[in-house]
Each structure stands twice: as C-alpha cells, then as structure tokens.
Structure 1
Amino acid sequence: MSMIRVGIADDHPVVLQGVSSLLRTQADIDIRFATGRIGELLELLLDDPVDVLVCDYEFEMDRHADGLNLLNRIRRTVPHTRVLFLSSHSSAYIVSAALDAGAAGFIGKRHEEFANLAAAIRSVNNRNVYVPDSLRSRMMSASANGSNRAGWLNRLSEKEATVVRMICEGLSISDIAGRLNRSPKTVSNQKNAGMKKLGARNDVELAKVMREAES
C-alpha cells in the first residue's frame, strides 16, 4: 500500500486533535507532523516534506497567515505539496480565490464535510481538486455572475459597497447610519444585501472576502 504523507496545521487545539485522531485510523495515511504555529509549520515542511498539507485557512495568532497570503508562503516553501484548506469560512468567493491561487482543495469544518476528510486527502493526492458538493453548488451559482475579483465587487451597488466597507472598518450599524444620514434599517438592509451578493454568512467572512477582493 502506498502511504500518503500528511501534515496538519491548525491553531485550534481541539481541531488539531480531532483531525489527527480521525486520520490515524486510516491505513494509507501517515501523519508526519501536526502543529498550531505558522513558523514551525514552514520549518517542518522543509525538514519533512509531505504529499498533502491539511491546513486551516486562517491562523489568528499571525496576522500575515490568512488566506491567499498563507497559501503563497507555503507554495514558495514547498511547491510540490498539495494544500487542502480546512476552514469554517467557506464563501464561494473565498473558495474560488484559494483554488485559483493554487490550493488543491477546500473542505469545511462542519461534521458532514469534515467526515470526508480522508477521502479529500486521497483525492488531492491523486492530483484532483477537491470541493464538497455543498460548496461546489455555491461556486457554480456565483460563477454565473462573474468570478474575477473585480466582478465580485461590481455586483454591489454604490450604497451597498459603502456600507460593506464601513462594516469591515469596524463601524456599527448605528454609526454608519449617523455618518451616511440613513436609517439603521436601511443600512442593515444594504449590509445584508451586500453579504448575500458576496456569499458571506457573517461579518468575519465578509471582512475576508473584501480584504482579498481588494488586494
């Protein structure tokens, strides 16, 4: 049996332990390391190359280690390692941007997706791109409206874009309403409309989409 060398990186200890426990039951997967720190991850990748890296999309303790920035650092370090992102933030834009930048796959942390992690690892190790059906359908829907970065932002009206950017700057609905001379209800509706168009489910995901779309 050909063994798949796997590394795991996630700064949440519970997730790190859960992924390790799940994969240790797979006869064809050899866990070479598990770490919660980016600095250590890059060193480990050089010292003990792996076929597939299961990696969180964002490391809260490193402001330079989220999304595409993290992927670029990993790919510069070990260009032949397949990166499978594991994340609770899975808007269609974030997934599309990661795949376009060279990620081998994207899988959510929800149980129904997480349960397929071993199959996802085998798929990307065989040079396939892995995206769960639930994410694939959202991506196909979004791509019908334009998948490039400019296209995503162009989907917002001028008023929606203004509100979304102010939300991402940390302003509250009431603060924005006061500054723009709009009612809180109007601002809230414009925010929700912008989130829907960008495929973001919450403020954290909205900030990620906007940050990467404007980078």
Structure 2
Amino acid sequence: MSSAAPDRVRVAVVDDHPVILDGVAAWMASAADVELVGAHGSLALLRGSPAHPVDVVVLDLLLDDVPVTALEVAGLVAEGSAVVVMSADADPGSVQRSVEAGALSFLPKASGRDELLAAVRAAAAGEAHVTPALAEVLAAGEGRRPPLSPQESRALVLFGSGLLLRTVARRMGVGEATVRTYLQRARQKYAEHGVRLEGRVAMYEAGRRDGWADEVGPGSR
C-alpha cells in the first residue's frame, strides 16, 4: 500500500470476519483524511505488519472465538497505537476493562460509517469518543468490581487457581502471613460491594469474571 500523507490518519483494522474488513476498508477509502494501511484477522498479523504501529487500531474484542484481553489492549497502546473497540459480541465487562486499559471508544458493529470515522479521528487526536453504547456500558459497570491493589488481585488469582499458600507466597516473594493479609483485604473489599468470597472457587470466579486474571497475566498463574 502507498504511504500515507503526513496529515492522514493511518488505521489498521483487526477482525476475523472478511466481510467486516471489506466494509470498514470501503468506509476508510471514502474519507480523505484517513488511510487504511492494514486489515488483519489477528493481533499477530497486525504486529507482523511493517506498518505497525499505526495511529489507530480498530479492534474486535472476539477473534476466532477467543476474547481479546485488557493486557493485549494495553500492549497496543504501549506500542503507540490508539485503540477503538468495534465489536458485536463483547460482554460489558470486557468493554469496560478495555477502556480501563486505554481504549478510547467502543462501537457496536451495527454502527455506521460516520460514527466509526468520528471515533477514529478522536482517537488519533488522543481523545475519547463516548458513544451511547459506551456510556451505557460504563454506567452499568460503575462500581462493579472493588478496587483491589495489584498485590491483592494477584494473591486472589493465584490462590483461587488452586495453588498452595506457600506456593503463592514464593511466587509473590512475600511471607505466607502477608498473603493471608492480601486475601483478607480482598475478601473485605468484595464484601463491601455485596459479594462474599467463600472458598477458592468463589475467588477463581471473581478473578475470571472481574478481569483480575487478565491483569495478573498468564506468567503468574
């Protein structure tokens, strides 16, 4: 593809549906200030492209039936790309965690050309574009999960995964008593949000449901 002029927004789309890729490409081609420099079926293909990092990545949150994690969204942002989430099947929790990780907008796939281009232009300027769909998700999720510290969330995920207390302590580089304190604090914060964490299964479900497992990362499990 030809290189973009300096004042054009360089955009890549990541979606596993060719029809969506073709449709978004046509929309981008109709805008004089936007250039589509990549249309990929996976994040691996995006990162393997010589055009990456681009100005804006339009990202589906479900690729080949595998959810895109908040860590992956944060990774794109760290690499220098603004992220606009455009997804049909994403659950509200995934959308909220993506925004917390740095995504600047969320659009349902039923959104039209003008809405998508507005979100892309805003993202290129480093600004959030709050669509009605995003506002609804954020309002529904406000206060949904308690504000655990990184140590508390890591202890919750590791212990909930079935590891022994001493193994969790070794992985975290702290004593067993400290791990117990982290777990006690996590339970207390959940209790203040009306959720009782009784046993490992409840901890595991909380870690998965509320995104702590994504934030802790696979290397810590």
TM-score (norm 1): 0.62
Q: State yes or no: 1:130 paired with 2:129.
A: yes
Deviation at 1:32, TM superposition (A): 0.9
Larger Rg: 2
Deviation at 1:10, TM superposition (A): 0.7
Name the counterpart of 2:26: 21
Gap regions ≥5 residues in structure 2? 149-185, 215-221
Deviation at 1:48, TM superposition (A): 4.3
Report the 3-state secondary structure (helix = DSSP H, G, I; strand = E; otherwise coil) of the residue aligned with 1:102. coil
Structural mapping, 1:43-62, within 5 Å: 43-44=48-49, 46-60=50-64
Gap regions ≥5 residues in structure 1? 169-208
Identity %: 22
Tell me: CA distance 1:32–1:93, structure 2 relative to 1, closer, same or farther (3 Å).
same
CA contact (8 A) 1:86 1:107 kept: yes
Tell me the alpha carbon deviations over residues 110-153 of structure 1, each in whole angstroms, 9 at most, x when there is no partner: x2466510111011111111231232034124315557577789
The separation in 2 between residues aligned to 1:51 and 1:102, in whole angstroms, is 14
Q: State yes or no: 1:108 paired with 2:113.
A: no
Worse-superposed segment, 8-17 or 140-149: 140-149
CA contact (8 A) 2:105 2:134 kept: no
Structural mapping, 1:31-42, within 5 Å: 31-42=36-47
Deviation at 1:42, TM superposition (A): 0.6
Tell me the alpha carbon deviations over residues 157-208 of structure 1, each in whole angstroms, 9 at most, x when there is no partner: 779xx89x8xx9xxxxxxxxxxxxxxxxxxxxxxxxxxxxxxxxxxxxxxxx
Report the 3-state secondary structure (helix = DSSP H, G, I; strand = E; otherwise coil) of the residue aligned with 2:48. helix
Deviation at 1:28, TM superposition (A): 0.8
One-letter code aligned to 2:59: C
Number of paired residues? Answer: 168
Q: CA RMSD in A?
A: 3.6
The separation in 2 between residues aligned to 1:49 and 1:68, in whole angstroms, is 18
Report the 3-state secondary structure (helix = DSSP H, G, I; strand = E; otherwise coil) of the residue aligned with 1:27. coil
The separation in 2 between residues aligned to 1:152 and 1:70, in whole angstroms, is 26
Deviation at 1:95, TM superposition (A): 2.2
Name the counterpart of 2:219: none
Q: State yes or no: 1:98 paired with 2:95.
A: no
One-letter code aligned to 1:60: D
The separation in 1 between residues aligned to 2:147 and 2:23, in whole angstroms, is 35
TM-score (norm 2): 0.61
CA contact (8 A) 2:86 2:106 kept: yes
The separation in 2 between residues aligned to 1:152 and 1:139, in whole angstroms, is 19
Tell me the alpha carbon deviations over residues 13-67 of structure 1, each in whole angstroms, 9 at most, x when there is no partner: 11111111112111111111111133221111x5443211111112117x5x613
